[in-house]
Chain A
């Protein structure tokens, strides 16, 4: 749902819009598709064109009171109905209620001979008849290029298509025409040349065995639109487009505070801990206590009766439970009380979009007040740094809107300037806690400091992080951590 602020901005544009009802798409198009115009949705086989088009019709019928006609050139009504039934769309029911009309156009080239001049009035008449029957406002033609296979005379076809698109506009119908991607052009038969108003390209690419779906608005006349490629997901509820950066930053900043789980660390942050709904990044080299800090944070939250969701990409839940009991954290009781939920996923099991979808879904179901992602580093192995960043931006945005306090751990590598790996994501984070180990005089110790924490006067001192059987605590201030005599606990 666009916010009031967003609406006022879009109101300024003269073009009337027809909402698609597809999550995120209306946001990136500034309200939907151009009303009364033809939009082209193109992409490779299996990229989600049909689904996008069908969602446009189904949402139109159910949410916006706009009946729709689907003229389908590729799949029979039965097949199409079965295909989208998995998303909970009951096309048969919609047809019965006169909200949807599906017309399957079968073109069997080998049955048809040509003998003289013709036009495609038959198609126009069918379309007009279907539109009239249910008083349709929306139209989908999926996909017209099948006509190129069926009609031999492409000169006739091209002029007829042009006439068809003009006719649709005369009828004030908002239409989606789908087209298969070409090699050098957006669509195989250059359909984009006929459609001036709005072209959306879908893409389904596989990099390093992981697939990501993307959506790009190639053109949208008369409208301010995002030009980025937006990753999108298809799950059992249909398409959701995830704007990389929300066009609007409107989440409310909360003044409530959440304890970090370590009183001494709370003390470093005005004595109160994190802001509720903020995002916290914990970075550190191996073995510096990142997971312990995160587990401690969730344990304290559970003790207050708050619901926590812990995503782990490295260890199994039982492994975490065992490891944490060794540092005095009994997480098992919170799991039993159903306050702490673990979700373990192999980072490589599904693509980033899949992870994001799974995370979104679980958060939607459980409505936790705290979410931990441990560690985000492993996601980098799935995909490039940039992709991870864009995914995290969207995730952080989502969590903030939900007012969920989130903690992300990130493994940095020794010798690697920690800022480099973390820099990509740190700008999204409100609080950044750095963990590191050092060996003054050969005695190893863990150190912690708060590198930044927006909106509060936090301490910048370096403290020793003490991880023992009785839990986590901070040692004395290390005024100069290279000075060996200043060891905490003395």
Chain B
């Protein structure tokens, strides 16, 4: 896994390491509920204060599915920092989420 240049420098809070994470769900299914809980937990541990989570329920706003090319539910989209990354699943595999979002260099 490549290290992003922003990671290497590890500056104090700048715009480039602020995370905007959007989680797409479809109603309050067990997977959705689990995903929200898992995401909050991971962010609190790794990104205190440097993140924002947006939860989009596609049952309410189906037209939003096209924009981020959502097919699987739940899907987590890292909108910031670039590049855009996607993780599908209920985020129960913490390691995969941390690697997938590039929260710390992979070992």
Contact = CB atoms under 8 A, between A and B. Distances in A.
A387 interface: no
Interface string A113-144: 11111111111011011000000000000000
B97 to A, nearest CB: 5
Contacts of B69: 105-108
Nearest to A106: B69
Contact of A111 (B24, B84, B96, B99): B84
A155 to B, nearest CB: 14
Nearest to B25: A121
A114 B70 CA distance: 14
* Best-buried of B72, B74, B92, B100 by chain A (most CB within 10 Å): B72
Given A122-B75, A128-B62, A115 B70 contact: no
B34 to A, nearest CB: 8
B76 to A, nearest CB: 8
A235 to B, nearest CB: 34
A112 B26 CA distance: 19
Interface residues of A, number: 25
B38 to A, nearest CB: 8
Given A116-B35, A116-B92, A126-B66, A121 B87 contact: no
* Best-buried of A108, A113, A120 by chain B (most CB within 10 Å): A113
Contact of A114 (B29, B58, B71, B96): B96
Contact of B31 (A108, A118, A147): A118
Contacts, number: 100
Given A106-B69, A120-B73, A112 B88 contact: yes
A152 to B, nearest CB: 9
Contacts of B85: 111, 113
B14 interface: no
Contacts of B35: 116
B58 A115 contact: no
Given A111-B84, A113-B100, A126 B70 contact: yes
A125 B62 contact: yes
A125 B29 CA distance: 14
B86 A111 contact: yes
Interface in A69-121: 103, 105-108, 111-121
A151 interface: yes
Nearest to A111: B86
B77 to A, nearest CB: 10
B65 interface: yes
Interface string B1-43: 0000000000000000000000010100101001100100000
A129 B65 contact: yes
B59 interface: yes
Interface in B39-96: 58-59, 62-63, 65-66, 69-75, 84-94, 96
A150 B100 CA distance: 16
Nearest to B83: A111
A117 B88 CA distance: 8
10 contacts: A112-B88, A113-B100, A115-B87, A116-B90, A118-B75, A119-B31, A121-B73, A122-B58, A125-B62, A128-B62
Given A112-B88, A116-B34, A150-B71, 8 more contacts: A113-B86, A114-B89, A115-B89, A117-B90, A118-B90, A121-B72, A126-B70, A147-B71
Interface of B: 24, 26, 29, 31, 34-35, 38, 58-59, 62-63, 65-66, 69-75, 84-94, 96-97, 99-100
